């Protein structure tokens, strides 16, 4: 197997590109895919300050590394979710990465600062752990970006993640989610801009990027995610990709290019009903935002008396 660019021995093949790469050319490939994603979707301007949400996993640490190499001013944000040893470990990987490169890492701790963790919070609110976790992360990423006056929050969602989420949204025709599923969501009143610069890179490429570049990351998956729907969709998409390389990219980019705009009206309608949360001021379609409602159910605090 020879590198497509320089013909020296290859270390990885990327079937959907019908290509193999040596280490240097693979790094060039990843850099290029991030540059193209940022350019094609007009995600970031060179001078913008970016807050990278880092979980300690391969995608977000690789993303932080790639954004810094591309010249962006990028700080990290780690959210401690209180998922036992998994959270302790993932925090260590995020901190070690930041310390070893002298980078700024902002930390938010859900149990310490908000009085609940994901396992107990999701149980008290009778929500699936990943749903309670997802809404908490979205809220806390946005809050940290606004507090720190960052121009954008970047997350490590990759091609596999986004294709699996799209499959879930299409299977249920979730119009609201489809309207918001895009690699860049512009800033609006109370919302920081959100960007996903890894949409053109797969899970396997991000693991290889970390290994080849000496980035240590948490390998274990979140224990609460076992059996969740998206893992099932990923398996199905992997089977499709095996039979027909490029299937995931075609599915996802076809949606972005040809279908996403059709759901735009739903997003506009939702935005018109937004108002500040009575408790925390975050934009919400209800009186109290979903995060504060979760906090109330998880901790028993009374809204209006606590802040």
Considering beta carbons, is residue 33 or 155 the nearer one to ligand AMP? 155
Q: How far is residue 38's CA from residue 195's CA, in Å, rounded to a whole number?
A: 8
Is there a contact between 263 and 179 (Cβ–Cβ < 8 Å)?
yes
Taking the complex as a whole, the smallest distance from the CB of residue 278 to Zn ion amounts, in Å, to 8
| Interacting residues of 119 by C-beta distance below 8 A, sequence separation 6+ | 82, 83, 84, 129, 224
The answer to the question of residue 222 lying near ligand FES (CB under 6 A) is yes
227: left (phi over 0), alpha (psi -120 to 50) or beta: left
Q: How far is residue 170's CA from residue 178's CA, in Å, rounded to a whole number?
A: 8
Map residue 109 onto helix, strand or coil: strand
The answer to the question of residue 146 lying near Zn ion (CB under 5 A) is no
The answer to the question of residue 290 lying near ligand FES (CB under 6 A) is no
Residue 277 interacting partner from Zn ion, ligand FES, ligand AMP, none (CB closer than 5 to 8 Å by kind): Zn ion
Pattern 108-127, ligand FES, x by CB under 6 A:
----------x---------
The answer to the question of residue 129 lying near ligand FES (CB under 6 A) is yes
The residue among 83, 90, 26 whose CA lies nearest residue 58 is 90
Q: How far is residue 27's CA from residue 25's CA, in Å, rounded to a whole number?
A: 5
- Joined tokens for residue 106: 């902002």
Judged by CB under 5 A, the stretch of 75-83, 169-177, 236-244, 284-292 that binds Zn ion is 284-292
β-bridge mates for residue 76, sequence order: 52, 105
Of 50-69, which residues contact ligand AMP (CB under 6 A)?
53-55, 59-60
Residue 289 interacting partner from Zn ion, ligand AMP, ligand FES, none (CB closer than 5 to 8 Å by kind): Zn ion
DSSP 157: -
The answer to the question of residue 225 lying near ligand FES (CB under 6 A) is yes
The residues of the shown chain that bind ligand AMP, judged by CB under 6 A, are 53-55, 59-60, 77-79, 81, 137, 155-157, 161
The residues of the shown chain that bind ligand FES, judged by CB under 6 A, are 81, 83, 118, 129-130, 133, 222, 224-225
């Amino acid at each position: 197997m020879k590198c497509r660019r320089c013909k020296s021995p290859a270390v990885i093949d990327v079937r959907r590109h019908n290509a193999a790469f040596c280490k240097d050319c693979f790094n060039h490939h990843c850099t290029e895919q991030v540059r193209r994603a940022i350019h094609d979707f007009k995600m970031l301007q060179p001078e913008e300050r970016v807050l990278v949400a880092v979980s300690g996993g391969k995608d977000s640490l690789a993303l932080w590394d790639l954004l810094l190499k591309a010249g962006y001013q990028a700080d990290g944000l780690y959210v401690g979710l209180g998922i036992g040893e998994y959270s302790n470990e993932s925090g260590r990987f995020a901190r070690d990465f930041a310390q070893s490169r002298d980078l700024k890492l902002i930390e938010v701790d859900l149990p310490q600062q908000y009085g609940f963790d994901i396992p107990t919070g999701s149980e008290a609110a009778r929500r699936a752990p990943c749903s309670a976790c997802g809404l908490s992360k979205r809220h806390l990423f946005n809050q940290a970006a606004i507090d720190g006056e960052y121009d954008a929050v970047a997350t490590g969602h990759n091609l596999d993640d986004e294709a699996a989420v799209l499959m879930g949204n299409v299977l249920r025709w979730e119009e609201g989610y489809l309207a918001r599923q895009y690699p860049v969501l512009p800033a609006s009143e109370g919302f920081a801009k959100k960007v996903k610069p890894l949409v053109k890179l797969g899970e396997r490429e991000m693991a290889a990027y970390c290994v080849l570049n000496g980035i240590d990351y948490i390998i274990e998956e979140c224990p609460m995610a076992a059996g969740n729907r998206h893992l099932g969709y990923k398996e199905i998409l992997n089977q499709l990709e095996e039979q027909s390389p490029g299937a995931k990219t075609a599915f996802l980019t076809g949606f972005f290019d040809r279908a996403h705009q059709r759901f735009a009206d739903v997003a506009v309608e939702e935005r018109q009903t937004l108002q500040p949360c009575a408790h925390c001021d975050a934009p919400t379609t209800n009186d109290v935002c979903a995060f504060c409602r979760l906090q109330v159910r998880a901790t028993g605090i009374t809204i209006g008396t606590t802040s």
